Amino acid sequence: MEAFWLLFLVPFLATNSLDKAESVQLFDEIFGEGWWDNDKDKEWNKLMLEQNFQHQIDRQNTQIGQIEPNSIDQNPPLTESDQLGQIEPNLTDQNPPLTESDHSDTAKNTEDERKHKTVAKELGFNFITIYAWKKELGQSKPHHPHREQKELMKRYYEIKDTNTKFSDKDIAKMLNIGRTTLIRWKKQFKRQQLHPNSVDAQFVETA
C-alpha cells in the first residue's frame, strides 16, 4: 500500500515542483523576506504532506462522482428573484463616513487577498489554508492601528480595575485579541500612560 502511494505521489510532487520558484516568490510577497528558517522548513514539510494527501483524496472523490468538501461551487448563482428579496441596509446607521486611510486599508487588504488566492490556486489549495498557515507560523500582521491598541488597553485596565478575578486570558478573549498580543501591548502601554491617576501611578509616586 505504501509503495502505491509513493508511485502515486512522486509524479504529482515532481510536476508541482516545476512552478516552485514562482510559488516561493509569491510566498515571499505574502510573508515578507526572510520568513523561512530551518524550524519552519520542518513545519512546512509536514503541512505540505498533509495537504497533498487531502488534495489527492479530494481528487479521487471527485473522479468517482463525490463532491469535493472544499468546493466553492456547491451553491447555484443567485437569480433576479433572489436578489429582489434582499434586505435593504438600515438608513439610520450611525457609522461615520469612511476616511482616505480606510480606503487605502481596504485596497491593501484586497490586494493581499488576491495574492493569497493566487498562491492557493498555484498550489492547489483553498486560500483559507494560506491564512491558517500564516497564523500557525506566526506570520499574521497586526489588524489594530495604534489608536485602537491604545483604546483596547484602556478598556483592559478598566476591566482589570473593576474585577480582579478576571485573568489576562479572559480579558483578552473579551477584547477579541490574543493573550500574547495583550502581553506585548502591556509592555508597550504602561498603565500610567493611559490612566495618570491609576493605583499603580500613585504607588510609584509614594515609593
pLDDT, tens digit (0-9, with 9 covering 90-100), for 34-87 = 555 666 667 777 777 777 777 777 777 666 655 555 555 555 566 665 555 555
Using the predicted structure, report yes or no on whether residue 151 has a pLDDT greater than 70: yes
Per-residue pLDDT, 106:
63
pTM exceeds cut of 0.85? no
H helix runs in 64-198, sequence order: 80-84, 100-123, 127-136, 146-162, 168-175, 179-188, 191-194
Q: Grid coordinates standing for 196?
A: 495618570
Angle at CA 182, nearest 5°, toward 181 and 187? 100
Quote the distance between the C-alpha of residue 116 and its chain's center: 11
Using the predicted structure, report yes or no on whether residue 163 has a pLDDT greater than 60: yes
Between 9 and 103, the more confident residue is 9
Helix 127-136 with 20-31: angle, nearest 10 deg = 60
Between 112 and 65, the more confident residue is 112
Angle at CA 141, nearest 5°, toward 20 and 96? 130
Q: Grid coordinates standing for 5?
A: 502511494
C-alpha 47/C-alpha 28 separation (Å) is 18
**Mean per-residue pLDDT for 191-206?**
51
- At position 203, the amino acid (one-letter code) is F
